[in-house]
Structure 1
Amino acid sequence: MYRPKEGEFITIQSYKHDGTLHRTWRDSMVLKTSDHSIIAVNDHTLVTESDGRRWVTREPAILYFHDKYWFNVVAMLRSKGVSYYCNLASPFVIDQEALKYIDYDLDVKVFPDGEKRLLDIDEYRSHRRKMNYPKAVDQILMGQVEELVRWIKEEEGPFSKAFVDIWYERYCQLTHRMM
Structure 2
Amino acid sequence: MVAPQNGTPLEIRSYKHNGSLHRVWEKTLVLNSTKTTLIGANDKTLVTESDGKTWRTREPAICYFSTKHWYNIIGMIRPSGIHYYCNISSPCLYEYGALKYIDYDLDVKVFPDRTIKLLDEDEYELHKKEMQYPHGLDEILYHHVNLLKQQIHQQKGPFAPGFIDYWYEQFLTYRF
- Whether TM exceeds 0.5 here: the answer is yes
Structure 1 unpaired stretches of 5+:
none
1:8 — aligned with what?
8
Where 1:149 maps in the other structure, the secondary structure is helix
Q: Which letter does structure 2 place at the counterpart of 1:4?
A: P
1:67 — aligned with what?
67
Where 2:55 maps in the other structure, the secondary structure is strand
Deviations 1:31-62 (A, max 9, x none): 00012000001101000000000000000000
Where 1:112 maps in the other structure, the secondary structure is coil
The alpha carbon displacement at 1:122 in A equals: 0.1
Contact 2:2 2:35 (C-alpha < 8 Å) held by counterparts: no
In the aligned structure 1, how far is the partner of 2:129 from the partner of 2:97?
Answer: 31
For residues 27-42 of structure 1, what are the structure 2 equivalents within 5 Å? 27-42=27-42
1:21 — aligned with what?
21
2:94 — aligned with what?
94
For residues 27-176 of structure 1, what are the structure 2 equivalents within 5 Å? 27-175=27-175
**Percent of paired sites with the same residue:** 49
Contact 2:61 2:75 (C-alpha < 8 Å) held by counterparts: yes
Deviations 1:114-162 (A, max 9, x none): 1110000000000001101111111100100110000000011001122
TM-score, structure 1 normalization: 0.96
Where 2:84 maps in the other structure, the secondary structure is strand
In the aligned structure 1, how far is the partner of 2:81 from the partner of 2:97?
Answer: 33
Q: Which letter does structure 1 place at the counterpart of 2:126?
A: S
CA RMSD of aligned residues (A): 0.8
The alpha carbon displacement at 1:97 in A equals: 3.5
In the aligned structure 1, how far is the partner of 2:103 from the partner of 2:78?
Answer: 24
In the aligned structure 2, how far is the partner of 1:161 from the partner of 1:30?
Answer: 21
Q: Which letter does structure 2 place at the counterpart of 1:71?
A: Y
Contact 2:64 2:73 (C-alpha < 8 Å) held by counterparts: yes
In the aligned structure 2, how far is the partner of 1:3 from the partner of 1:35?
Answer: 6
Structure 2 unpaired stretches of 5+:
none
Where 2:136 maps in the other structure, the secondary structure is helix
In the aligned structure 2, how far is the partner of 1:78 from the partner of 1:59?
Answer: 7
Q: Which letter does structure 1 place at the counterpart of 2:31?
A: L
The alpha carbon displacement at 1:2 in A equals: 3.0
Contact 1:2 1:96 (C-alpha < 8 Å) held by counterparts: no
- Length, aligned pairs only: 176
